[in-house]
Every structure is written in C-alpha cells, then in structure tokens.
C-alpha cells in the first residue's frame, strides 16, 4: 500500500520542485509564494503518510527489526549532522557529549537513529533560543541517551499524552511547527519493543529533557501490539555481527 | 556532444519529471517503459548513463541491470538505481546487481540531477 500512497504524492512534489526551479518558465511572485505553500503542505502530507504507515505496521506486528552491532557514538554523530543545519538557521547550537569508551551496542540501530532524530528534531523545532544538548552514557547494562532543550517546557499534566498519537500540547502548534504528531508515539513503541523506556522530565518555562534507556544488547523484540499472548515474537532479522 | 541518458521507468509522471528535468539540464533522453524494453534500448543505443527503476513490470530492475552488465559493450556504463523508500538493504542489493549509484524515492529532482552529475559532469 505504501507504494500506492507515495507515488502520486511524489509526482506532485516533483512537478512542484521543477516549477519552483523555473524549469517551466519564471513564476510571478504571488505564484511562487503559493507554490511554496503547495510544497510545504505536500512535504507535510508525505511525513504524515510515512508516520501513519510506520504506526500501522507497528500495530499490525509487521515492523521488521534488524538487530546488529552498532556504535552509539556514530548514531549520535549522524543525528547531530542531520540537525545542525536546521538548528543553525534558528541560531541554536546542537551539542553532543558522548561518554568515552562506550561498549558496542546491539539493537536496531536505524530505528534508534530514527528515534533520536525525532527527539532532537522536536527539541530544535520547539526551542527558539539557547541550545539542544545530547548526552550518551552507559549504566547498569543500558545506554542512557538524553536530549535536553531550552524550549518552553511541558507541563507535568501533559507528560503522559505527548506520547499518544496526534497529541501535541498545543494543537495550533502542529501546523506552525510542522510536526506530524506521531513521532513520539512511534518512538515510544520502537524503544519499548526493544526492551527500553522513553520518558520526559520538564516543567513549563524550564525546557525539557527526553530520556531513552535502551539495553546495550537487545536480543529479542517484545511485541505487545501483535495481540494474542502479547509475547508473540515480532519479525527479527539478525544482522551479520 | 550531448550526453544521452536512458530512463527505464514505468510511471508516466516520473518519466515526464525526469524528462523535463534532464532536458532542461542539457541531456538527451531515451525512454523505456519496462525492464525488457530497457535492456533492448541499452544494447541498441549505448547511452552514457542509465536510470533504472527497480520496481518494474516483467523483469525487475535488478534483473535488467544484470542483463545489461552481461553485454560486454555495456559493462562500464554508469547505472543509477531508483528504488522505493524504506526497503532496507536496497542499496546493497542494487550494488550487488551491478548498479553504480542509488537514489531512493521519493527523490527530489535536484538530488537526482546532482547524482547524475557525479557520473556525467556538465
């Protein structure tokens, strides 16, 4: 189904970019402005489709995890590289402090990266000044990853529902900040299925710190969503270590 | 001399986007709608580069790439694979089949052009 949903949208975005690049002739200024809105909405819809498909795969127990050895420092570095441009545009710094000598991890590194990218992306989106700080360390057999921002903070009564589908604290923000409202819900599932936890520590006006605790070596996938016994093993591909 | 690019792609809109993009960038296009037609066009036309969609009717892009690579005169023509988002392991599979580069859908025309220019500098 993903192919059917994405193909027409890709065509819309493709033509829009050619129009914006002047391939079909120069556009009047008002038309350029409208075209930019078409592109922004198209990209937002694509992000939504990708997230909804991820979530529906999780709920159907069809999300395939690939467990492989990875370097947490490399995961952190890739997320810093992917987000520092967006942060710089807002005058923010993204810093990373990785404890020296971390052991090699074993998990679905691509999904861990997706989760960290989501947390750092959110932090940059919701922070207007200050910094976004990533820390990575190991304790008691788990990696502890935290993402701290100097944004507006989240009231304690909202801490539970921000991990639910389509819940941002201020729904008027969804359009302004460009999120899909699904990123944290997906992140929570992906971390919990690998035996980890995700939580937030924040108060209004005091920024927010999201914390992921993930076993250093993830050996099995816990699939509560697949129903039945609640412990049906989810599909796992073992990476060549 | 104008460089010629063979586009093997079954979706009409994708072909038009690639055509409009690449013709405006000064390349000449040859188009094929499925894998078999693509292999035949490659043998007949000897293009300077091939853009290979992977999900094609009939033989898929992996098989079409292997058949093109089996033709001695086409052993070194750059082949860029274009595949759907989120199929993990795709890049390794396209390389194993003999592709030189890889662009994931959804691609932006700008990214695609940049990738083509890695192989065919303007």
Rounded to the nearest angstrom, the minimum Cα separation between B98 and chain A is 22
Which run of H or of E encompasses B12?
A: helix B12-24
Query: In angstroms, what separates the C-alpha of A205 from chain B's closest C-alpha?
Result: 38
B110–chain A Cβ distance below 8 A for any pair:
yes
**Hey, are the CB atoms on A13 and B24 less than 8 Å from each other?**
no
| CA dihedral over A117, A119, A124, A125, signed as positive or negative | positive
Rg of chain B, C-alpha, whole Å? 13
> B61-65 long-range contacts, Cβ below 8 Å, gap at least 24?
B61/B8, B61/B35, B61/B94, B61/B97, B62/B93, B62/B94, B62/B97, B63/B35, B63/B97, B64/B8, B64/B35, B64/B36, B64/B38, B64/B39, B65/B94, B65/B97, B65/B98, B65/B99
The answer to whether the bond into B106 is cis (omega within 30° of 0) is yes
pLDDT of residue B18: 95
Higher per-residue pLDDT: B95 or A181: B95
Q: Predicted confidence band at A82 (pLDDT cuts at 50, 70, 90)? A: confident
Specify the range with the lowest mean pLDDT, choosing from A9-13, A88-92, A138-142, A234-238: A234-238
**Chain A residues in contact with B85 (beta carbon < 8 A):** 2, 6, 50
Q: Is B109 on the interface with A (CB under 8 A)?
A: yes
Q: Is B55 on the interface with A (CB under 8 A)?
A: yes
The structure's pTM equals: 0.71
ipTM: 0.87
Q: What percent of chain A has pLDDT over 70?
A: 85
- In the predicted model, is pLDDT for residue A234 greater than 90? no
Q: Enumerate residue ranges in chain B where pLDDT < 50.
A: 86
Q: Are strands B28-32 and B4-8 parallel, antiparallel or unpaired?
A: parallel
Nearest 5 degrees, angle CA B26-CA B27-CA B33? 140
- Minimum CA–CA partner of B112 in chain A: A14
Contact A194, A215 (CB under 8 A): yes
Q: Where are the alpha helices (DSSP H) in chain A?
A: 2-20, 29-59, 72-89, 109-126, 172-177, 183-193
The DSSP bridge partners found for residue A214 are A143
pLDDT at residue A51, rounded to an integer: 84
Q: CA of B73, closest CA in chain A: separation in Å?
A: 33
Contact A27, A11 (CB under 8 A): no
- The answer to whether B111 contacts chain A (CB < 8 Å) is no
A141: left (phi over 0), alpha (psi -120 to 50) or beta: left
CB of B88 less than 8 A from some CB of A? yes
CB A95 within 8 A of CB A132: yes
């Amino acid at each position: 189904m993903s192919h059917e949903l994405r193909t027409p949208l890709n065509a819309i975005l493709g033509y829009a970019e050619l129009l914006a690049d002047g391939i079909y002739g120069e556009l009047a200024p008002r038309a350029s402005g409208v075209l930019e809105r078409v592109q922004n909405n198209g990209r937002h819809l694509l992000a939504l489709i990708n997230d909804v498909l991820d979530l529906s795969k999780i709920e159907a127990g069809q999300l395939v995890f690939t467990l492989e050895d990875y370097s947490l420092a490399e995961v952190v570095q890739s997320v810093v590289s992917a987000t520092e441009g967006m942060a710089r545009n807002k005058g923010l710094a993204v810093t990373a402090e990785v404890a020296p000598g971390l052991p090699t991890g074993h998990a679905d590194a691509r999904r861990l990266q997706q989760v960290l990218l989501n947390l750092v992306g959110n932090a940059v989106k919701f922070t207007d000044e200050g910094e976004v700080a990533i820390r990575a360390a190991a304790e008691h057999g788990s990696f502890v990853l935290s993402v701290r921002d100097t944004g507006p903070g989240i009231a304690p009564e909202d801490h539970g529902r921000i991990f639910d589908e389509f819940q941002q604290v201020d729904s008027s923000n969804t359009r302004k900040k460009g999120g899909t409202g699904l990123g944290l819900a997906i992140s929570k599932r992906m971390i919990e299925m690998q035996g980890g936890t995700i939580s937030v520590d924040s108060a209004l006006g005091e920024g927010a710190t999201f914390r992921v605790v993930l076993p250093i070596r993830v050996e099995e996938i816990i699939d509560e969503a697949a129903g039945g016994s609640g412990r049906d093993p989810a599909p796992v591909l073992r990476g060549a270590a | 001399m104008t460089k010629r690019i063979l586009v093997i792609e079954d979706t009409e809109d994708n072909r038009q986007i690639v055509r409009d993009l690449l013709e405006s960038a000064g390349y000449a296009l040859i188009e094929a709608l499925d894998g078999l037609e693509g292999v035949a066009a490659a043998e007949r036309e000897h293009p300077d580069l091939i853009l290979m969609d992977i999900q094609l009717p009939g033989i898929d892009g992996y098989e079409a790439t292997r058949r093109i690579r089996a033709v001695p005169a086409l052993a070194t023509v750059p082949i860029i694979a274009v595949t759907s988002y989120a199929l993990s392991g795709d890049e390794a599979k396209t390389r194993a089949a003999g592709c030189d580069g890889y662009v994931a859908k959804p691609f932006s025309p700008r990214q695609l052009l940049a990738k083509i220019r890695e192989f065919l500098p303007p």
